[in-house]
Structure 1
Amino acid sequence: MAIRIIYKGFLVCFCMFLSQRGYSQSKNTFKTKYTIEDLSLVPPVPDYSEMKYWIAHPEVKDMADEVPGKGELKEYQANAAVDVFFIYPTIYSKKQDKEHPWFADVNDEKLNKEIANSTIKYQASVFNGSAKVYSPLYRQAHIGIYSMGNLPLKVEALEFAYTDVKRAFEYYLDNWNQGRPIIIASHSQGTNHATKLLSEFFENKPLMEQLVAAYIVGMPMDKGTFSNIPICDNPTEIGCWLTWNTYARDYYPPNHDFWYADALNVNPLSWTTDTAYVSWGANQGGILKNFKKIRTGLSDAQNKDGMLWINKPKFFGNFLINWKRYHIVDYNLFYMNIRENVAERVETYLREKEYLD
């Protein structure tokens, strides 16, 4: 009985962590009373000259400054030679606000706290060992757009959300970048916006010279995503992009052939695009609910048919989890490997561009 209570308690805590991050394992079609006409109902525009509209900024103490473990890791933003511009995933996932049903309000303190304590803490912080972390609040589209058939609404909602991301990036360039190397990083909806940002500001543009790499995770992307930005195919390649979409081994999601038949993935345990299996021993550590606990060997990984396949992650009580899609923990499962890889690519960039002797 005692063991069962412990297991149930762990499961409740773990699932609460995931629900707080604004994600769902549900396959149900999103139902709403709001239509495409309601896209005109928008919350106030953020002014990126005000620090309150940056959920992470190197000049402010925030959740991007956090580091896991028991003191063995440090954040080095103060002296970092590189910046990361991080675009977070969808957290506006609960009841739609009748005043602006399709877009999050950047002045919503409760939502901003959820953003800070989830994606900023568990994803953006992975970069703080090598880069200054900038992440703007933006009027993200409601998660419902991803599970409804109204394509025009989906396109317009994402286009609107991107306008904030674009303005924030322009403000960052004009006021803080000062020619410094840049990492673009994102997850899920953030990757929709990051892809457009890379196409508009980097591809075939002078800014491409400043691109260390783009960690644009959690959306299927194929070799046609960019015409002149290559996918990364080794651990130290720079000026390239990398992504992965994590699923249970042997699982093929609905409409796999449409979404993933031509999708590319970089294995975050080997940092290559090949299909070689990489075992748990290569996983330097992942993070679950307890941010301070680094779980070595948490997951294996293998690129397969446009996806990243894993066996069930190894942690106490894992038999209670029977997921097919691990989208919500694309970063968490490989946290320490990502952190080390960012450092490797940054060092390579600085040396090749003659920042280092």
Structure 2
Amino acid sequence: MNLKAWRETRSSKARKWVALRALAWVVASVAAPTVSFAQHVYEAHLHPVAVIAPARMQLDTPQGAAEFPLYLSADWNAPQPRIERAVIVIHGKLRNADVYFGTAEKARDAAGADPAATLLVAPQFLATLDTRVHSVPADMLRWKDNAWMGGESAEGGVPLSSFAVLDAIVERLADRRLFPNLKHVTFAGHSGGAQVVQRYAVAAHDLRTLADAGIDVRYVVSSPSSYAYFDAERPDAQGRPARFDPAQCPSFDDWKYGMQARPAYVNDRSPAQLEAAYVQRPVTYLVGGNDDDPKHPVLDRSCAAEAQGAERVARAEGYFNYLQARHPEGLNQQFHVVPGVGHNGARMLTSPCALATMFGTGSCTK
């Protein structure tokens, strides 16, 4: 779909949303002048997972040993000389890695990729509440609620960042004794998983290990509720970057929405350093053309998220506009609308553009 035409068709909706948002803040300030805004509005949707992934990744950290559950399409503890491509699919807030692993299998088959040459990895970031119904070892990593989505440290096992777990997966894949012919790695996520992929692409520590091994890395960011911005600008009524009034939302620029109050994993580099590395990474942003419901039940409606737009299409378009404005020399990134699709992970991750990025087959439709 042509991006210019898409922007034009959505401009009137954006103006209406800004007017309504301004009215809502006026009403709120009169009715409740001491309102406190929560950064993460997902708690009502938290339920224990149905199943825990059967494979285990053993981790040795300065704080002690830990283990982490995941799904694997092949035994990565043994040499796999036939594997040339790895796809790491991150689940959303439901932590249903089994569902996303199944979607990854369907995507692989739809792309016509050789199963013997493709490793599928579906990590599972458990929440502490999952231990209420599942018996897990004391050293199993688990996070408070959705803290794993922003790279925060585990609450159980050892205090390891969820992003450090992804680093450990990267390190395993870069081991040429295990994967002597690996050439491509893609991180892919939809919704909450896309939030993880986008923030990890901003903050990742150990991607150099893959580059040094001659392995390219790509990212698919599909329909997240929000993005990490690098300064205090947010989309205006036309979806163009403009200075945001913090009086409307004091936490609008806190991580994972912006660069303030970053967790330890992300706080070792300046925002400028993070941005410079990020815009060089090949990121494909996808959003469903019908994923435009401002009252969608799993849309982040915190004020920090709403500062980025009313719904997912507006937020996706606004973020890409923001990056383009900051980098007129060009981006190593692309944005595509998937026509006729709402908030559906299976359809998004099996769309032509997702398949092209994950498996190198076909091309993105415009």
TM-score, normalization: structure 2?
Answer: 0.41
- Name the structure where strand makes up a greater proportion of residues: 2
TM-score by length of 1: 0.42
